Structure 1
Amino acid sequence: MTTREEQITDAFVELADCLVEDFEVTDLLHRLIDHALQLLDADAAGIMLADAAGVLQVVASNSHAVEALELFELQADAGPCVECYRTGEPVTPGSREEMRAWWPTFAPAVEALGYSSAQAVPMRLRDEVIGALNIFRTAEGALDARDLKLARALADVATVSLVADRTITARQLLADQLQRALTSRVVLEQAKGMLAERSGIGVDEAFTAMRDHARRSGRGLRDVAADVVARRGTIPS
């Protein structure tokens, strides 16, 4: 049986592989989410990155409902990712009452989805914060110290992978990576809807099917989604 230590090692190796290999940014972001859900006391997660103007954009999430929640967070301009990006520090309310007090508009939306805790850790490289990893839990309260430390470490490694190219500045590379992520998100949303309709499954199940197929075939998630949109090949669902 795989131990937690082995799972953590595998997660860091997989995220760090992007430092030495050509990688698809969408795959990296969704792998960060997968590892967060596997290794932390978390039930849902999403990622926001800042564009060249410093405006946060939703780039990845583990479900359609969480994506909608994160979009609402941006619209309300209140919530853990927004605050985390502004301060560069983890945002971890210790109770449901504290979450409600901090974000009276956003907290009810969190609870409506069945979560009792919303928190975030920064994605940062030295002093530059490029976004945040959002974590939602059905259990009330903040992540414990061990999980919070691990969450920060996972986010840090993913951030380094995003801005690892030394031939151009980190900000230039990040702008390119973010644009790729946003473009991929549009293709993914189209593909999820099309595959769901064709196969008679939910959009979240459609995404899981595409992601699993991409990993089994060693292809990028965006490429698999593009095939679905173009009606090339089949995706086992």
Structure 2
Amino acid sequence: MTRHVHQALAEASAALVGEHDVAGTARAMVGGVLRSVDGEICGIMLGNNLGVLEVLTCGSHRAEELDLFEGLSVGGPCADAWHGDTVVTASLDEARRDWPDVAEAMRAAGLGSVAAVPLRWYREPLGALVVFWTGAADVTADDRAVLQAFADLSMLLVIHADRVSVRSAAQRVDAALAGRVIIEEAKGVLAHEENLTMEHAYDRLRQLADVSALTLTDVARRIVRNAAMGGEKPTAG
């Protein structure tokens, strides 16, 4: 990653742990996206309760670009990324084939390529982050990872918009530490029952969590509870 990417991600992350509002922080976040991938326009779109995409923020308010985002609410790369839960990239020629109206708006705005990545919460797609370039962009695997990181931060911004008091934060810290204690207890159980080192016991715990589709803490609680009751631990296939 370049220094610009590191700085932009650091700024976006820092904004989430201080005083912020969704609109202002989202606008700053799209600026970070543009600096990171040398884009021209960036926007964040969310699906409303009617199943229609709406613009949360975009990096420009020129008439041509507002027309572009209005078109994206009907169909195009954002809708495809959202409904397909996948990264969508296209050149202007490809856009003409797949989304003619969006392509015409891109041409009018002087744009030559686009990428959209899904916004997810608990693996459920809820919208998309979209970036446009003036020329033909080669969206690399690193670019996709950066865009997805910003999309994930954007989703955190929206979901955790309410201010959490210092007292509530302290309570959550205590809960996190309690979770760590139960994980250590579960490691001890696994180490004893399966004759493992503590390091390998942790690896075994992660394996059990992966195959059971449960969180690490939930699996640890089950292991400790079952050991106390003389039962069996979750199995890894």
TM (normalized to structure 1)? 0.61
Distance 1:78 1:110, change over 3 A: same
CA offsets 1:98-128 (integer angstroms, 9 cap, x no match): 2211112221111121111122111112312
Q: Secondary structure at the match of 1:156?
A: helix
Q: Secondary structure at the match of 2:126?
A: strand
Which of 140, 143, 161 matches 2:157?
Answer: 161
Q: Distance in 1 between matches of 2:48 and 2:27?
A: 19
- What is the number of residues matched between the two proteins? 162
Which of 89, 95, 98 matches 1:99?
Answer: 95
| Aligned residues: CA RMSD | 2.4
Q: Distance in 2 between matches of 1:73 and 1:113?
A: 14
Q: Which structure 1 segments of 5+ residues have no match?
A: 169-237
Q: Is residue 92–residue 107 contact of structure 2 (8 Å, CA) maintained in 1?
A: no
1:82 paired with 2:79, answer yes
Which of 21, 25, 30 matches 2:22?
Answer: 25
Q: Distance in 1 between matches of 2:48 and 2:19?
A: 22
Q: Distance in 2 between matches of 1:158 and 1:46?
A: 11
Q: Which amino acid aligns with 1:69?
A: L
Which residue does the alignment assign to 1:67?
66
Distance 1:54 1:17, change over 3 A: farther
Q: Secondary structure at the match of 1:89?
A: coil
Q: Is residue 8–residue 33 contact of structure 2 (8 Å, CA) maintained in 1?
A: no
How much does 1:131 deviate? 1.4
Which residue does the alignment assign to 2:111?
115
Distance 1:97 1:7, change over 3 A: closer
CA offsets 1:15-54 (integer angstroms, 9 cap, x no match): 2234433320011211111011111031111121122333
Q: Distance in 1 between matches of 2:111 and 2:161?
A: 38
Q: Distance in 1 between matches of 2:161 and 2:45?
A: 21
Q: Is residue 92–residue 106 contact of structure 2 (8 Å, CA) maintained in 1?
A: no
Identical-pair percentage? 30
Bigger RCO of structures 1 and 2 (CA < 8 A, at least 6 apart): 1
Distance 1:135 1:142, change over 3 A: same
Q: Is residue 111–residue 133 contact of structure 2 (8 Å, CA) maintained in 1?
A: yes
Distance 1:5 1:141, change over 3 A: closer
TM (normalized to structure 2)? 0.61
Distance 1:17 1:64, change over 3 A: same
